[in-house]
A and B are shown apart, each in its own frame.
Chain A
Amino acid sequence: MGTPATRIGALGWLAAGLVALVSFLIGFVWLPSEQAGAQGGLWNAICRAAGIVRSAGAAPTAKTPAPVASDIAWNTQTLRNATSGDAKRASALAAGCAGCHGANGISPSDAFPNLAGLPAEVIYKQLDDYRTGKRQNPIMQAMAAPLDDQQIADLASHFAALPLAQGKGGTEKPALIMTGSSMRSIAPCAACHGPLGFKHGAPPLSGQKSAYLKAQLDAFASGARRNDINEQMREVARALTESERDALAGWYGGKPASE
């Protein structure tokens, strides 16, 4: 504390320390203790202000869990499971799918979707949802019921490895695909289904069967299908008009896959 130099330096440190201390007392002790519903004493107040959530007071009473849309959650483990399949091991199992979905995953009928080239996580989630009854369809639920996790992953990688269906050529492209409609809270289709962005579990739609797509949009709109994890497809489909659902399904079904 001898020279003026050290005095000024020490003064700076002292002032900064005081500001920090007073701010700490206000921000970590006083304000959180005064908050409505604050309980559990000083230590809890400090922890809450630091961002640590501790259980304070009595545990909340048990309630019946809310129904969930799907048992799949897109975390690291799910992604690892979904992509851990072996396509070769699935060839025998896949023979059972060929009747409706085609030998190469390209369906001969408009009522059944093409599966070829869909990402493994898409097939994995739908098979799991059928197996757990989160997505309902008498044929598919019966087909999926006996499968175990590994078999689902194997089938997923089998279909993912097949070449994607080619569309027949485009018609008029609805503006909803690339821009959505902000005032109706409709996100662009392309934001999740590509090419603007890709979300886990959202399938590419190019070259899919129009009739199948229309049926799914209708099912989402009516609530008959509800295995979209955050209800986003039900939200969107409900906001779309009948003719918009037709136009979207028609365009994706007729669209070449390369676009």
Chain B
Amino acid sequence: MLANRRLVVAHFWLAFLTFAGAVPLGAWQMWARSPLHAGPAPADLYYASVTAHGTALAYVFPTLIAMAFGYAACVSALEQPLRGERLAWVGFYLALAGALMSMVAVAGGNSSVLYTFYPPLTASPLYYLGIVLVVVGSWFWACLMVYNMATWKREHPGAPVPLAVFGTVANALLWVWTSVGAAVEILFLILPAALGWTQTIDAGLARTLFSWTLHSIVYFWLLPAYVALYTLVPRAAGGRLYSDRMGRVAFVLFLVLAMPIGIHHLFADPHIGAGFKFLHAVFTAGVALPTLLTVGGITASLEIAGRLRGGQGLLGWVKALPWDRPIVLATGFSLVMLGFGGAGGLINMSYTLDLTIHNTQWITGHFHLIFAGTVVIMYFAIAYELWPHLTGRPLRSAKLACIQLWLWFIGMMVVTVPWHFVGLMGQPRRMAYYDYSDPGLAGQGPLVTASAIGGFILLASAILLIVILARSHGGEKAEIGLLRYARALDEASPLPRALNSLGVWAGLMIALTVVNYGYPIAQGFFLEHNKAPIQSVLRAP
């Protein structure tokens, strides 16, 4: 059994309970604004629900999964208990308190600003403080990851840091730097307005700071899934990792390139100059590099496994893979959704193509496909893979888990493919109500209905996930072996030092951020024309 398992299990359960609470809201939202719902749903309830769904699933859920898997990878791959477990618990309770504070504020109807905050809207200060606490809790985790890797390296001079830990620490460094943008936005712009200390807010500067966080946070969500792809999947499939070094290069590239690209979310914002939009579009294209490296490396690893299992011919190895193992099945689904989502992402990052789909349902479709599809399905697989090591009880059952993954995949495709289409037809996102009786919108009705049905398939899958995890947790104890990671084909060859440490890359990440964000942020301090009167969303007393 895993060291520090109570800590890891606590994070996983809090994550999945948050998830279980937020998924029904998503299903309700899809139904409420589809033609299946008679008449308009109450708009205030709708926006409160969207805020709760986004806050829980974008801030709380993935952060806790990254923390849980990070701790697990750290203690199992370094083969030593976590140093600083007490601080890890402090981080956990901070995140728990923050999550509760935010949810109380949203449930009270006083914080319906959506998880992207939307200045000059201002919500109850409780909402922002809650999110700050979640982030501060995760900083404890990030510091512990760096500290554990650093002390291990000191005690094992020259030894390669296990890939699972290397990827996790890269993610921890990325996250600390990523969260600085939104933290500055909340502490220096939004909270003073929400507390009534200022009457105006520089919405442009706030949006620029948020974009600093908004895109790289996606890679913070993604990297735990990639760590699992590199370190758990090849072994579960019965093969070897094609290249350990390719994995390190991918993690390093994510660390360096995830940050200086966020302005592609602001292509339609007038306060950013066209030159910076172009610069960020170029660097966004760069992120395709580690993504393609990973797709290639993981596919090669699966091919090794398939051929070891007797697969023949050009594609015979695909059939020979053990698709009845949840993490292998999840990997297949994940790569399919990454293919579609990645192709859509190329549209979003193109400065000019983006204009055709900006602020439409296409975007909602895109990030659900990539995050809730590609990434979250791997979170499920990680939980299934780790559960026996955390609880000392076997998974009940792998077959049920595969059904759950199938439901999630089908549900996510049924939700997001029609969303992309209605986006192309011009349907705006973030609307509580559409008048489908109107001939102009009637054509979108059937697609929206289909996607709402997908929402309920996802809800069924989410319920099944909780049932499987709870049933397994309450099952009978059994002998569970150690958690082991995939061995790589190139593990014997010497590792360049730059691929065994992250300092030089973290430095490059900061340098590129200064180059790509320095002026757009600085202008907020000397150009005054962006100031807008604040609009409180607090309920009238």
User: Is the A/B pair a real complex?
Assistant: yes
Q: Please give the residue numbers on chain A whose beta carbons come within 8 Å of chain B beta carbons, in ascending order.
A: 3-6, 8-9, 12-13, 16, 19-20, 23-24, 26-28, 31-32, 46, 48-52, 74-76, 79-80, 178-179, 181-183, 194-198, 200
> What are 10 A-to-B residue pairs whose CB atoms are below 8 Å?
A20-B512, A23-B279, A24-B275, A49-B278, A50-B519, A51-B523, A80-B199, A182-B441, A195-B44, A198-B535
B455: Cβ under 8 A from any A Cβ: no
Question: Is chain B's binding surface mostly helix, strand, loop or mixed?
Answer: helix
The 10 closest A-B pairs by CB, nearest first: A49-B275, A51-B273, A27-B278, A5-B497, A8-B498, A9-B504, A28-B275, A23-B282, A50-B273, A27-B275
List of A residues within 8 angstroms of B286 by Cβ: 19
Q: Could you say which of B229-237, B385-393, B404-412, B430-438 contacts chain A?
A: B430-438
Q: How many residues of B contact A (CB 8 A)?
A: 44
Question: Contact between A3 and B497 (Cβ–Cβ < 8 Å)?
Answer: yes
Contact B199 A9 (CB under 8 A): no
Asked if B499 is at the interface (CB within 8 A of a chain A CB), the reply is yes
Whether A12 and B505, one on each chain, are in contact in the complex, defined by CB atoms closer than 8 angstroms, is: yes
Determine which of B272, B440, B504, B505 lies in contact with A51 in the assembled complex, contact meaning CB atoms within 8 Å. Answer: B272
Within 8 A of A (CB), among B270-294: 271-279, 282-283, 286
Do B508 and A32 touch across chains, with their CB atoms under 8 A apart? no
Contact A23 B278, CB 8 Å, known A8-B498, A76-B533, A196-B44: yes
What's the Cα separation between A30 and B440 when bound, in Å? Answer: 42
A178 contact set on B, CB distance < 8 A: 40, 43
- A48 and B435 form a contact (CB under 8 A): no
In the bound complex, residues from chain B placing their C-beta under 8 Å from that of A80 are 199
Residues of A close to B440: CB separation below 8 A: 183
A52 and B273 contact, CB distance less than 8 A: yes
Evaluate contact between A48 and B273: CB separation under 8 angstroms: yes
Alpha-carbon distance between A12 and B283 when the two chains are bound, in angstroms: 14
> Number of contacts between A and B (CB, 8 Å)?
113
- B274: chain A residues at CB < 8 Å are 27, 31-32, 48-49, 51
Closest to B47 in A: A196
| Given A19-B286, A76-B531, A79-B533, 15 new contacts (CB under 8 A) | A6-B498, A8-B498, A12-B256, A12-B504, A12-B505, A20-B512, A24-B279, A27-B275, A32-B275, A51-B271, A51-B272, A76-B200, A178-B40, A196-B44, A200-B533
**Which A-chain residue is minimally distant from B501 (CB atoms)?**
A5
Does residue B515 face the partner (Cβ distance < 8 Å to A)?
A: yes
B520 at the interface (CB under 8 A from A): yes
- In contact, A51 and B515 (Cβ under 8 angstroms): no
CB closest chain-A residue, reference B529: A53
Chain A nearest CB: distance from B434 CB in Å?
A: 7
Q: Are A8 and B275 in contact (CB under 8 A)?
A: no
Residues of B that sit less than 8 Å from A by CB: 40, 43-44, 199-200, 252, 256, 271-279, 282-283, 286, 433-435, 438, 440-441, 496-499, 504-505, 508, 511-512, 515-516, 519-520, 523, 527, 531, 533, 535, 540
Closest B-chain residue to A190, C-beta based? B43
Beyond A79-B533, A178-B40, is A51–B276 a contact (Cβ under 8 Å)? yes
Docked CA distance A198–B274 (Å): 34
Instruction: Report the minimum CB–CB distance from A47 to chain B (whole Å).
Output: 8
Asked if A194 meets B496 with Cβ closer than 8 Å, knowing A179-B433, A183-B438, A183-B440, the reply is: no
Return the contact of A5 from the options B276, B498, B511, B512 (Cβ within 8 A): B498
Cross-chain contact A79 with B199 (CB below 8 angstroms): yes
Question: In the complex where A27-B275, A28-B275, A32-B275 touch, is A51 in contact with B520 (Cβ < 8 A)?
Answer: yes
* Cβ–Cβ contact B283 & A23, under 8 A: yes
* Contact, CB under 8 Å: A8 / B44: no
Within 8 Å CB of A19, what residues of B?
Answer: 282-283, 286
A51 to B511, CA, bound (A): 22
Give B151 Cβ to nearest chain A Cβ, in Å.
21
Q: Contacts A9-B504, A196-B43; is A16 near B272 (CB within 8 Å)?
A: no
Minimum distance in angstroms from B230 CB to a CB of chain A: 20
In chain A, what residue has the closest Cβ to B199? A76
Q: Which residues of B contact A20 (CB under 8 A)?
A: 279, 283, 512, 515-516
Which residues of the other chain, B, contact A74 by a CB distance below 8 angstroms?
Answer: 533
B273, B277, B508: which contacts A16 (Cβ < 8 A)?
B508
How far is it, in angstroms, between the C-alpha of A79 and the C-alpha of B508 when the chains are bound? 46
* Closest chain B residue to A74, Cβ basis: B533
Of all chain B residues, the one with the shortest Cβ separation from A184 is B438
In the complex, what's the smallest C-beta–C-beta distance from A48 to chain B, in angstroms?
7
Knowing A8-B498, A75-B533, say if A195 contacts B275 (CB, 8 Å).
no
